[in-house]
Structure 1
């Protein structure tokens, strides 16, 4: 799935701004024909979660209705026109000018509809959004945590239109999709490109690669709708965290000496693979230092806020991190673009957290997970920053989970053969799905949920479990979560739970365990920042306080400790 661009042949309009909004607590919108427009609305900001924008109804999860009016651009009459939604959580139904144009289930991933036959000069766009929790959703409703709203995961179930809504136009024949896989042979950078076109006969493609004194131009005839070609860049500048070199790849469709369509990609030439106990980037071992995170900020919830993206990257650079996982759902496309530019390494995770594998829902869970990984790879496949796919976080493993993940692994490997695949686990050596993973990711909280207050015994337990896990699978291990809730400004000597001193000691000693295991390829602290959760007796103020920064991005002691360990010492 290509992100819309603006050039001589393509254009888009961002519909973000203030929309009309209406809660529908009695679920009467469809029967009362709100699909053609509705009154008694209030203004709402798009994109942003609806939960914290108003003085009331924070925990109302749906359904709710959005509407916005817009005009068609004057020069779009001979174009194909699409409506693209960056993310709506959770279920969305869309109408344009009173006609249904589509349905989508699942948040955090982009979807779009061809509206070429629906669009008028003056238009009204309606979206019904339903974020109510259910056991057959992914992620599912839960009862285990004893929280409200009742999630099966430990973050708030924000609802709404979370990322930009774009109306875009492309030529009636041209570029449909581009896939680029890079490889390296000594100083040679190799680009295997798969180009998909539509509505084009008797045309030529022109490929141009520019950057770092390289000017490579090649032309090929279009003989069918899928074109596979290979380009080679001599004396290539490879992409890595210290030197995130990006080339510009431009593709043009030419017929009768006229350019009909054009699309540009920023390409990083790099390889990623698992070999023995090591994760290799461009053939050299790489150690991951970073975080699990959340898209979470006051008032906007999980909504797209460019300034917060910049702030978070600045904090991660300041602290010396080189990587993060998109826990527990894909992040915005803009977040991925900045990672490419800054050289961050990303474990890209589908929104499959807290899977239950209950017999009444397991088939639906697999359908949704399959949909999510297809949508995620289609969206993020060309990012050099994406080094691994994660198929789930902390699934509630059962006798059926092995076959579930085997089939999901096979699907993922068919879609992308160039990256390792993992599952983030809480079951340890009992996890059956580790058989299919190239990297073993484990979340561990000895010294917090288990052996609370006793960090030394916790580290002993962690060390013993890691050794047992490696002895069974002989695969590299990433400690993908570890941390301790910490109330900002709470201090104690000797350190005790919830104090900043305890969090700092906890993190430092866990890292020491990791650094003494040759098969450990990285450490991801949970979490970069404090974040919003459902209400519960274990979550004071409905917050998870495991961040090394506060929710408004102020450092705790642990942030300064990590800077010393990751940036100054390393």
Structure 2
């Protein structure tokens, strides 16, 4: 059990115990499968009865009791190395609160408000600089975790500090990997600044110089404060938490090590597929180095000589090969067939997965493997009352199970890149994903005070947005479930300067080239950037903020020709990227009052019926999957300080609308599966 003074999340679903009296051990002996995966640090007891006959979906629909042994954190749901050695990282770190940073930070700085339109650089702000590390760490904090769900930092916005140690047996270089820190992190190794990173929802790493054997100290300074320097993390219609919010890995790496692998399907037929495989290596040394690279794909019984990589000092190098896979295992909707590739050098290795599939846009159709598809699903935030945005794997698994139960085939990661483990599960299950870079509801300064005002015009905006784009593309490139890249949700685009920003960021988003790109717009009648995406995606709330929800068909029939004639939006696929209405859990109304569960159910029922019937609607994503916490600045328009538009509440308990949505979505799924047969 947890030791005194340590706060641990996840106890409601991850059972931390040794042989509790309440568990029926004798009965379980004959009805459970026991396994201890090597190096994973946990025992699992999985009931073998009542299984579904649906292949990979089985694991997400049966109970698993997890008996944790505190060793390694997993950043993926599969093993990623065979030879690279990992170090022990504790799940509770020393912790101290730092200075608070009041919010929202006033922008009436000396000289008047910042004139973003004129490009004036804001004055230096202490929020962008590290402070002195504390001498004492009086608390313990769970990692991953957020401090707002603890008594220690429940109301804290500002700086906080983390500390832990690791042991080395011999002189080595250590790679420190952080899956996500919200939102700004300064990483210190043995008291010296090693790395800095901005943005909570993308990973970063740093490699040390060779370290001597013994004990070494890692300290993090973390900020969730609001300042003019932070242009993406601003007061929002979701909550900006503080903490080390995703898993942490410490591992030993050689001077020349494998950074990542990229696999792209170039050609696809039933009898063969052509895949381009790329391996990217980094050199931490002071001289150029060369190393042979090999790749093994066990499912295809292939061993590929990738050649020798010559990697410059302090830089990276890339080796590529085109590989032909006979009779490929094709990745399809609801059928997530995957390949595993292990790339290796004499001193290092990396295991990755990929799917063989193609995605394209043809006229008004979205094509998966050359066949038209339709999307039906949800927008989903990573949020939970007990864990904030640091969702343990058990909660991520529960969310995917509920999504499967609803019959959905589509998930939009609003409004930031998701935890790779969620994407891994979508890969395995054939769930289609729109992955979104982290920009939401941002504007230029227009003289009216809003907490998100001015973000798009600040000097840091484009660098921070571009960094998020590039990190998302590099880190999540191999997920076959991701069929669309998105960005700039509901950001200002009804003027020339907004359009210019969108153009620049679309250039970055198209660097991948293997997926269509889009943005969800709340400017359906005046969006100057609508013509820039491959897919037209609109957020609108008929029956909630706008007119009656029975008018969707007429609204769409008016919008599409108007966009083509007035905004240059030529024929392309059309997705209703957000629609819905709020429901306070438990509030019932016989006369369908807004905020009642009955009204939400009626609104979604009518809306989905019209979208299914309309020939030009290629996809729909309900806003939203579950209720989520919001920032205080929108509290007066958000009962419970929550965005209550979820079809399940914040604890994943279904509202009346869930059954309505399930009926429609299950019908669409059954129709699709019948056609596949």
TM-score scaled by structure 2? 0.76
Select which of 427, 435, 445 maps to 2:523: 427
Deviation at 1:464, TM superposition (A): 3.0
User: CA–CA distance in 1 between the matches of 2:131 and 2:225?
Assistant: 21
1:352·1:391 contact (CA, 8 Å) conserved in 2?
Answer: yes
1:520-539, aligned counterparts within 5 Å? 520-535=617-632, 536-539=635-638
1:278·1:519 contact (CA, 8 Å) conserved in 2?
Answer: no
Asked if 1:469 corresponds to 2:563, the answer is yes
Task: Report the counterpart of residue 170 of structure 1 in structure 2.
Answer: 253
1:88-487, aligned counterparts within 5 Å? 88-117=181-210, 121-139=214-232, 141=234, 151=235, 153-187=236-270, 188-198=272-282, 203-211=291-299, 214-222=300-308, 224=310, 225-253=317-345, 259-358=346-445, 361-397=457-493, 398-413=495-510, 415-451=511-547, 454-457=548-551, 460-461=554-555, 463-466=557-560, 468-469=562-563, 472-473=568-569, 474-487=571-584
Is the deviation greater in 389-398 or in 24-33? 24-33
In structure 1, runs of 5+ residues without a counterpart are: 142-150, 254-258
TM-score scaled by structure 1? 0.89
User: CA–CA distance in 1 between the matches of 2:374 and 2:508?
Assistant: 28
1:206·1:219 contact (CA, 8 Å) conserved in 2?
Answer: yes
Higher relative contact order (CA 8 A, sep 6+): 1
1:108·1:329 contact (CA, 8 Å) conserved in 2?
Answer: yes
Task: Report the counterpart of residue 147 of structure 1 in structure 2.
Answer: none
User: CA–CA distance in 1 between the matches of 2:282 and 2:414?
Assistant: 36
2:380·2:625 contact (CA, 8 Å) conserved in 1?
Answer: yes
Spell out, residue by residue over 1:22-81, the C-alpha distance to the aligned partner (whole angstroms, 9 max, x if none): 22226899999853x531521111111111111x64332111111122323x35x3x432
Change (3 A) 1:554 1:478: same
Change (3 A) 1:195 1:521: same
Change (3 A) 1:119 1:167: farther
SS in 1 for 2:483: strand
User: CA–CA distance in 1 between the matches of 2:618 and 2:90?
Assistant: 41
User: CA–CA distance in 2 between the matches of 1:29 and 1:478?
Assistant: 39
Select which of 7, 17, 24 maps to 2:91: 17
1:164·1:304 contact (CA, 8 Å) conserved in 2?
Answer: no
Deviation at 1:264, TM superposition (A): 1.8
User: CA–CA distance in 2 between the matches of 1:32 and 1:221?
Assistant: 43
RMSD across aligned positions (CA): 2.6
1:18·1:44 contact (CA, 8 Å) conserved in 2?
Answer: yes
User: CA–CA distance in 2 between the matches of 1:29 and 1:436?
Assistant: 35
Deviation at 1:138, TM superposition (A): 3.0
Spell out, residue by residue over 1:158-216, the C-alpha distance to the aligned partner (whole angstroms, 9 max, x if none): 111101121112233342332111133322111101222356866543322222xx312
Change (3 A) 1:47 1:198: closer
Select which of 648, 653, 656 maps to 1:557: 656
Task: Report the counterpart of residue 256 of structure 1 in structure 2.
Answer: none
Change (3 A) 1:120 1:544: farther
2:573·2:617 contact (CA, 8 Å) conserved in 1?
Answer: yes
1:189·1:235 contact (CA, 8 Å) conserved in 2?
Answer: yes
User: CA–CA distance in 2 between the matches of 1:289 and 1:119?
Assistant: 54
SS in 2 for 1:400: helix
Change (3 A) 1:176 1:87: closer
